[in-house]
Chain A
Amino acid sequence: MATAAELRLESVWETPHTLLGKLSTVDHLELGKRYIATAMVFLMIGGIEALVMRLQLAVPNATVMNPETYDQFFTMHGITMIFWYAQPILTGLGVYLVPLMIGARDLALPRLNAFTYWMYLFSGLFLYASLLFADSPHAGWFAYVPYTTKAYSPGLGMDFYALALIFLTISTTGAAINFIVTILKFRAPGMALSRMPLFMFSSLTTYFAAIFSLPALTAACLFLELGRKWNFQFFNVSQGGDPLLWQHLFWFFGHPWVYIVFLPATGLISMLLPAFSRHHIVGYPYVAAATVLTGAVGFGVWVHHMFAVGEPQMSMSFFSAASMTISVFTAVQVFAWIATIWKGRPVLKTAMLYALGFLALIVIGGLNGIVTAVIPVDWQLTDTYFVVAHLHYVLIGANLFPVLAALYFWLPKMTGRMMDERLGKWSFWLSFIGFNLAFFPMQILGVLGMPRRIYTFPVGMGWTSMNLIITIGAFILGVGILLTIVNFFQSLRSGEMAGDNPWNADGLEWLTSSPPKPYKFVHLPTVVSRNPLWDDYDELEDPNNERIFSQDRLTLSTTWVEAKATELARIPEDSIIPVFSSLAMSWIFVAILFTSLWWALAGVILTLISAAAWLWPKHEAKVALQPQRQAVPE
């Protein structure tokens, strides 16, 4: 039976179930699910690209595709996985989970949230529109100049690369601003910084890192595009340019980006591992500090991608040492997780298996990372399959496995139905075994000298059998992930009902119904400890019904550090305008792709008009709220 308060909240918060309603919704639950689904589609696309590449490399002198096509495949695989899957899936999980975990009713900027989702989708479509021209990016995910300048890469391929990345950057920056403001302002009363769920620490670190690293990518892509389209001379040595400028800018962005796709995943693990260990996380302050330090020191390691370039001795030693320092912070987290399992009573559900798999893989990936931070070894191994092995151990181990763990853990909250455990365990073991079959031999191949990005190899190099094993492993990994997707669709139809808190976990998100209502909480929760649902305090107890706030779309706003409730924030209602704004911005990028500045200007004007409409104040009476604070500041 719905109470009167629930009915009132429902009428205030509900999005109409029409096409217009679906397009204009700003509900973080809906947008989070869209983010996750879109990112999973990009994972599938990138995965298929990888499998086709592995077919080409399965045997020596294969002719599945020609070298040019192969170049486009590995480039699109890299870009898709790194930019359109690995980060957006974490954004999506954050969009869905952050407000629930901190006890708020939505993100601070819901319309911006809708806008960043559409920008993400359109930028991906923009990138894949390059298929229509049979001219996709072909220079690897870091697109080194001068190979990518107009002289050596004519055609539209690299223009798609540069523009699509700037395009995506707008989306990611918007999401970062949204998360930072939300986490700092909307935490439940009592959720002081020292009591935040660890996912909030990793998210805050990540999105601050995004704020300060993405501009380097924007600048690099801007320089590249100005050079390609309008003959600017940033990278042309004969006119005073410097190709290394690209590498510095790209890696100044690129290395923090590695932590941007890694840290939120560790935050997810720090949330779900204690739930399955039946024990709170060991060393909470150390894990939190290690997270923040990883993000900060991550800005001081970019040159380790460039050891082979040749830098002054002092500079190389510094960056080598900084890179090794990072492993200390990661080790702190790993030991905290191991200690948590050790002290608890672990329950081996599928999500926990994926978390354990992550632990094993991140240790291997971390160790072979330390190896490559040693400069002489790096000179030997750079641009070989060893690096391919390392980056996949880190990215699949520290992104895909935690994400799958998170999906098994939180999908019951999103859909209201449990995933099948038997299928889940099959999926885990196939993924884990397939992954190691596919990537462990790559380390040996790298030491044997097989260069990365070659489209085929001759007989008699001693690489043949291992390449076949890798291909078999890749397909087993693919089947493993496919099983999880099958499992998901099966659970939608016939999964067990989940209930509010199927895992007896400790986070605030488990106070909501599964799936949560559009208003999430009837009574906004309050918090007195780090593990709200495991203490004996009732977060929802509200005898005088003072924390319902059903007069309008309202949520509590609290102070940054101590999270004391001070004011109410009004959440904007649904709007179709973010869709128009993102379409107008897409127009700009399409116009620049075809070098038509007047059309681009038209796009800019459209964007400005839509922004004006977006921000235009409304005439509605805000009965529940005092219009502004009355005091006159000095």
Chain B
Amino acid sequence: MSSLPYILPVELRQPPYPQDNRVGSNSILTFIATEGTLFAMLFASYWYLGKGKPQWPMGDPPKLHYAIPMLILLLASSAVLHFGEKKVREHKVGAGMIFLGITILMGLGFIAMSVLDYQERLQTLSPTQNAYGSIYYTTVTLHAAHLVLGLMMLLYVLLLPSIEPREVTPHWPYHNAALYWHFVDAVWVFVVFIMFIIPNIGR
């Protein structure tokens, strides 16, 4: 056993010390893991309820003419946000914030389209009509709720005061909110694939 004193790395021996700012990112990744599991549970329930039924979805399968453009819009918004983050990393915070604003507008566009989708879908299917309606609306609405939460995060980053010098990189709140936004987008990919595209195959 050594009895020599532990030697700290040079940069930790006197101030200013390097700061660990990744607690937030690590936490939000863990949070995303649990949220992702929640959606996995919903998909599993969707599969379980449909297992062994002569017809699933019960009634007509959902139409794709809103879901696919919504998917494209969301994927594009993720790309835009990613560019924005890159700009921020290159010390161009102003440009990054503009990209962030565009992402928020695209998110609002998604919500507008999903309102139209709801209006159309509710004419033929209600959440209380059968088990399919229940799981369909629960999943889609839960996703929309998460999307709204993601939008709130992005808006918050947009409004954050420039207290800490913005030119320093990376911009951690930006990064963390972007992580969550990418997660929300990824969930929609699964929703569209499992609940919109597959039921339309072979009908």
Binding site for B on A (CB under 8 A): 108-109, 112, 173, 176-178, 180-181, 184-185, 189-190, 211-212, 214-216, 218-219, 222-223, 226-227, 230-234, 236, 239-242, 245, 248-249, 252, 526, 528-529, 535-538, 541-544, 546-547, 549, 551, 554, 556-557, 564-570, 608, 612, 615, 617-619, 622-630, 632-633
Contacts and interface: CB of A to CB of B under 8 A. Distances in A.
A249 B165 CA distance: 48
B15 A623 contact: yes
A566 B12 CA distance: 8
A565 B8 contact: yes
B58 A633 contact: no
Contact of A568 (B12, B133, B138): B12
Contact of A626 (B19, B38, B40): B19
Given A215-B38, A537-B3, A628 B21 contact: yes
Interface in B42-80: 42, 45, 48-49, 53, 58
B74 to A, nearest CB: 22
B3 A177 contact: no
A240 B27 contact: no
Contacts of B122: none
Interface in B117-170: 127-135, 138, 152, 156, 160-161, 163-165, 168-170
A483 B91 CA distance: 64
Nearest to B5: A541
Nearest to A568: B17
B200 interface: no
B53 to A, nearest CB: 7
Given A240-B132, A632-B90, A216 B23 contact: no
27 contacts: A108-B27, A176-B34, A178-B27, A189-B6, A212-B37, A227-B134, A233-B129, A240-B58, A240-B132, A242-B48, A535-B1, A536-B1, A547-B6, A549-B17, A557-B20, A564-B9, A567-B17, A567-B19, A568-B12, A617-B160, A624-B17, A625-B17, A627-B168, A628-B19, A628-B169, A628-B170, A629-B170
Contact of A234 (B30, B41, B49): B49
Nearest to A238: B130
B38 to A, nearest CB: 4
B18 interface: yes
A526 B169 contact: no
Given A184-B26, A526-B6, A629-B19, 5 more contacts: A215-B41, A234-B131, A538-B3, A633-B89, A633-B169
A633 B37 CA distance: 31
A551 B16 CA distance: 10
Interface of B: 1-3, 5-6, 8-9, 12-23, 26-27, 30-31, 33-35, 37-38, 40-42, 45, 48-49, 53, 58, 89-91, 127-135, 138, 152, 156, 160-161, 163-165, 168-170, 172-173
A397 to B, nearest CB: 30
Contacts of A619: 163
A535 B3 CA distance: 9
A627 B41 contact: no
A217 B35 CA distance: 13
B22 to A, nearest CB: 8
Contacts of A632: 89-91, 169
B9 A627 contact: no
Contacts of A542: 5-6
Nearest to A547: B8
B131 A241 contact: yes
Contacts of A240: 49, 53, 58, 130-132
A281 to B, nearest CB: 18
B138 to A, nearest CB: 7
Contacts, number: 199
Contacts of A178: 27
A528 B1 contact: yes
Query: Quick one: which of B130, B131, B156 has the most chain A CB within 10 A?
Result: B131
B139 to A, nearest CB: 10
Contact of B30 (A177, A227, A230, A617): A177
Given A627-B165, A632-B169, A230 B21 contact: no
Query: Quick one: which of A219, A541, A625 has the most chain B CB within 10 A?
Result: A219
A588 to B, nearest CB: 13
A222 B138 CA distance: 9
Query: Quick one: which of A177, A248, A249, A536 has the most chain B CB within 10 A?
Result: A177
A537 to B, nearest CB: 5
Contacts of A615: 156, 173
B165 A109 contact: no
B47 to A, nearest CB: 10
A569 B23 contact: yes
B8 A546 contact: yes
Contact of B27 (A177, A232, A245, A543): A177
Nearest to B55: A240
Query: Quick one: which of B23, B40, B90 has the most chain A CB within 10 A?
Result: B23
Nearest to A169: B34
Enumerate the 8 nearest inter-chain pairs by beta-carbon distance, A residue then B residue, closest first. Answer: A526-B6, A215-B38, A557-B20, A240-B131, A567-B20, A232-B134, A241-B131, A628-B168
B134 A241 contact: yes
B3 A536 contact: yes
A554 B19 CA distance: 10
B34 A630 contact: no
B168 A630 contact: yes
Given A189-B6, A232-B128, A624-B17, A226 B89 contact: no
Nearest to A173: B34
A177 B31 contact: yes
A252 B37 CA distance: 12
A526 B1 CA distance: 13
Contact of B26 (A181, A233, A618, A625): A181
Nearest to A236: B131
B23 A633 contact: no
Contacts of A536: 1, 3
Contact of B164 (A184, A227, A568, A627): A627
A537 B1 contact: yes
A570 B164 CA distance: 15
B161 A249 contact: no
Contacts of B131: 233-234, 236, 239-242
Contacts of A231: 128
